[in-house]
Amino acid sequence: MKDFLELAKARYSVRGFDGCEIPQEDIDKIIEAGMCAPTGVNNQPIKIWVFRSEEARRNLLSCTKMKFIEPAKVIFAVGADPEQAWVRPFDGKNIADIDAAIVITHMMLEIHDLGYGSTWIGHFDVNALAELYPETKNYSMVGLLPVSGIAMEPSERHAKRKALSEVVTEL
C-alpha cells in the first residue's frame, strides 16, 4: 500500500483516456473499495451500476455532454436511496448523497492505486438516465465514474490549493 498522502496528492481528474480494457479482477477491487466506504449508521443505502457493454456506455453517454469519457470501457454510476439513508435528527438532513460521495471517493482512490485514471462526472441528466434505466429512478444519483488508462497529464489546476488560512479555522 502506498503512503495515503502520496496517493491522495497524486490522484487527479483525468480528462483524457486511452480506452484500455479493465480486467474483471480490477473492477471487483474498485467495487470492493466502494463497499468498504463508511456510511451513516452503516445503513449502506448505496447502489453501484457498472456500464460495460458498448450499448450501455453509449446510452449513458447520451445523458451527459462530457464526451471526453467515451473511450472508457467501464463507467460506474453511483447513487443512494434516500429512503434507506440515515437522517440527522436535529435538522432532518438526509445524508444519502454524502454516503454516495464517500463511496465514489473510495472508488476513485482505488482506481488510481491500480494505475488507472478517473474523473467524477456530476454533469449528467438524471431524468434521462432514469428513462433509459428505470432501476436508477428511486436513487439520488451522485456521479458517474469512468475508468481507463491515462492519456494525458494533469492540468496545472491540479496542484493549485488555497492557503491553509482560507480553509482551516481552529476554534
Residues sharing a CB contact under 8 Å with residue 73, sequence separation 6 or more, in sequence order: 19, 20, 21, 22, 52, 57, 147, 148
Q: Which of 81, 75, 69, 63 is nearest to 127 (CA)?
A: 63
Average pLDDT of the chain is: 96
In the predicted model, is pLDDT for residue 1 greater than 60? no
CB 51 within 8 A of CB 77: yes
Residues 32-73: tens digit of each pLDDT: 999 999 999 999 999 999 999 999 999 999 999 999 999 999
| Superfamily of 14-152 according to CATH | NADH Oxidase (3.40.109.10)
CB atoms within 10 A of CB 144: 27
CA pair distance 159, 162, nearest whole angstrom: 10
* 151 Cβ contact partners less than 8 Å away, ≥ 6 residues apart: 14, 16, 17, 18, 71
Cell numbers at 4, concatenated:
495515503
User: Which residue type does 44 have?
Assistant: Q
Which cell is 77 given?
Answer: 454510476
Give the whole-angstrom CA distance, residue 118 versus residue 144.
10
Instruction: Read off the DSSP letter of residue 10.
Output: H
Going from N- to C-terminal start, the domains of the chain cover: 14-152
pTM of the model: 0.94
What number is the average pLDDT over the span 7-13? 91
